[in-house]
Structure 1
Amino acid sequence: MSQTDSPRMEEAVTRVVAFFEQLAPASVADLGRIYAPDARFKDPFNEVRGVQPIQQIFAHMFEALDQPRFVVTGRVVQGQQCFLTWDFLFAFKNFHRGEPQTVRGASHLVLDAQGLIVLHRDYWDAAEELYEKLPVVGALMRWLRRRAAQ
């Protein structure tokens, strides 16, 4: 990749970050504007290929959680790869209602020559960031963590 392409990738990453920070139920249908048709997505719970399955993951997020949103806290762009750090803010619908929750994580993105995401891999600790916040499972996870630390 030449030096002249670098500003174009920076612009593409800026567009991707803005899209995710403004993501809303109505904009899930527009994910094809930032993902390539055959894009791959993987997180601790999902592994899918294609825009429609990716849309289903984000649509489910809005159905399952109250006011989910992403805040990108850092980024590194090198060639066609990007690493984003983020806070995912939300509230559970079924318990701890209205209590703000935060999951901290990171995404590795690979973009194509058109600036579309071809690979999106999320990294976050499901045990620490999610399971420990759940009523029954959380108590078990906290107990296991204490036992492991002894």
Structure 2
Amino acid sequence: MNTQLPPCDPALRRLIDFYERLQPASLEQLPALYAPNARFKDPFNDIVGPAAIAGVFDHMFRSLSEPRFVVTAAVQQGDQAFLTWRFHFRFQRFDTTTVQTIHGATQLVFDAAGRVSLHRDYWDAAEELYEKLPGIGALMRWLKRRARQ
């Protein structure tokens, strides 16, 4: 649990604790945290419902080594919250020894029951992921340099 964060609403605290302790077995908790019609959107997914959200995280656990989230800040106003976070992991197929980090932010909207109805992740897939991949990483860095010229 991240004790650096200021006190927040119990629903938000439960969600932060869930993500900071996320393991494959904890995916069964998603229906208690997310509304039945909750929308989850990130650079790769736009899905609805706890079962579909569990599928995203199941894929993450099968594709990456030692994935973990660290929430670095939380701001809440009414039924909305905004988190900033770091996602640490190791690739399973490329550089398997280097711990990678993605920096991102999440917009959350809670329903009247305190469950998430909208979870929208914002992070730069080009800089935070593609540039770290063999082959495509060199191309992405080249394109970035060209765009600055």
Same fold? TM cut 0.5: yes
| 1:55 aligned residue | 54
CA drift at 1:112? 0.8
Counterparts of 2:95 and 2:32, CA distance in 1? 35
Pairwise CA distance, 1:28: 1.1
Task: Give the equivalent residue in structure 1 for 2:114.
Answer: 115
Q: How many residues align?
A: 143
Aligned to 1:135: 134
Distance in 2 of aligned mates of 1:54 and 1:133: 25
User: In the TM superposition, what is the alpha-carbon distance from 1:33 to its structure 2 partner?
Assistant: 1.7
Deviation track 1:62-103 (CA, whole Å, cap 9, x = no partner) reads 000001010000010000000000000000000100210000
CA RMSD, Structure 1 to Structure 2 (Å): 1.1
How do 1:89-104 and structure 2 match up within 5 A? 89-104=88-103
**Higher-helix-fraction structure:** 1
Which 5+ residue runs of structure 1 have no aligned equivalent? 1-6
TM-score (ref. length: structure 2): 0.93
Unaligned stretches of 5+ residues in structure 2: 1-6
Query: Which stretches of structure 1, 4 residues or more, deviate above 6 A after TM superposition?
Result: none
Q: Does 1:42 align with 2:41?
A: yes
Match of 1:4 in 2: none
The offset of 1:29, in angstroms, is: 1.8
Residues 33-80 of structure 1 show CA distances to partners (whole Å, capped at 9, x for unaligned) of 211111000000000001111000010000000010100000100000
The one-letter amino acid paired with 1:73 is T
Q: Tell me the SS of whatever aligns to 2:9.
A: helix
Letter in 2 for 1:56: G
CA distance in structure 1 between the partners assigned to 2:18 and 2:122 by the alignment: 19
